[in-house]
Structure 1
Amino acid sequence: MEPDLPERLRAFIVEAQESESVWGVSDCSKWAAAWVEQVHGRKIRLPRWRSRDEAHRLIAKAGSLERLWSDALAEFRLFETGRPQLGDVGVIDTSRYGQVGGIFVHGEYFAWRAETGVAFIVPRTIVKAWAIQ
């Protein structure tokens, strides 16, 4: 792990906590993608959406949020991991919201960019995780 990764991730999360979540800009998928882009210095080609409804239509068309991410991250050449580490990204399953994207943080916690801010949760099911390094 690069030495400044924990501090970079902390700053990335703090910045998100201090700003509004916007669909298609800083929602759970775009936020996690922005983290990967910051670490790697290049863009991920996720589909574009401007609203919750538009995002849900694209997810349904792909088959799931995991499939949408898998397609984009395969092209980006991030590889799946069975043991997510600090800063890795992934899709988890929640009982209330279904699949959501986010970033794995210390311990078993997962940072999810909800409409109300950044939530830290222990995933009940990790659908898929990708190593950022």
Structure 2
Amino acid sequence: MRTDLAEPLRAFLEEAQESESVWGVSDCSKWAASWVEQVHGRKIALPRWKSREEAHRLIARAGSLEALWSEALADFGLFQCGVPQLGDVGVIETGRYGQVGGIFLHGEYFAWRAETGVAFLVPRLIVKTWSIV
């Protein structure tokens, strides 16, 4: 277990609960990317968007959210992993919203930055996971 990430991740999650999600700033992709950036101390080169519509166009152009993340995270130097550990990031499939990005927690839990705050859920399908260490 990655106990060194537990406290920083808890603080990161609490901070997100107290702020509004903004497309292109703190939506599910940018939020998870900011977690990786906090751990590594450098920026991820994700495309820029300012609205849900722009984000969806970029995702469609890439082929999927997973494809968009795969390119950016490969360039950053993160690699796919098998079973996610505390603090790893990934893309899951949801019945209502399609693919969403977020951060894996203890056990099978996943934190997703929804428009209404941080949602905690157990993924029905993990599309891809990247180890942050």
Q: TM (normalized to structure 1)?
A: 0.98
Tell me what 1:81 maps to: 81
- AA aligned to 2:117 is G
Where does the alignment leave 5 or more consecutive residues of structure 2 unmatched? none
Find the aligned partners of 2:3 and 2:101 in 1 and give their Cα distance. Answer: 25
Q: Residue 63 in 1 paired to residue 34 in 2?
A: no
Q: 3-12 vs 102-111, which deviates more?
A: 3-12
Q: How does 1:5-44 map to 2 (within 5 A)?
A: 5-44=5-44
* Cα RMSD, aligned residues only: 0.9
> Cα offset for 1:111?
0.1
Tell me what 1:107 maps to: 107
- AA aligned to 1:101 is G
Distance 1:44 1:85, change over 3 A: same
Tell me what 2:118 maps to: 118
> Cα offset for 1:3?
4.4
> Cα offset for 1:113?
0.1
Find the aligned partners of 1:3 and 1:106 in 2 and give their Cα distance. Answer: 10
- AA aligned to 2:9 is L
Find the aligned partners of 2:2 and 2:95 in 1 and give their Cα distance. Answer: 34
- How many pairs does the alignment contain? 133
> Cα offset for 1:82?
1.0
- 2:25 aligns to what SS in structure 1? coil
> Cα offset for 1:2?
5.8
Where does the alignment leave 5 or more consecutive residues of structure 1 unmatched? none
> Cα offset for 1:65?
0.1
- AA aligned to 1:88 is D
- Percentage of pairs with the same residue: 80
- 1:15 aligns to what SS in structure 2? helix
> Cα offset for 1:4?
3.0
Instruction: Indicate conservation of the 8 Å contact 2:44/2:73, yes or no.
Output: yes
- 1:43 aligns to what SS in structure 2? coil
Find the aligned partners of 1:2 and 1:92 in 2 and give their Cα distance. Answer: 22
- AA aligned to 1:56 is H
Q: TM (normalized to structure 2)?
A: 0.98
> Cα offset for 1:92?
0.1
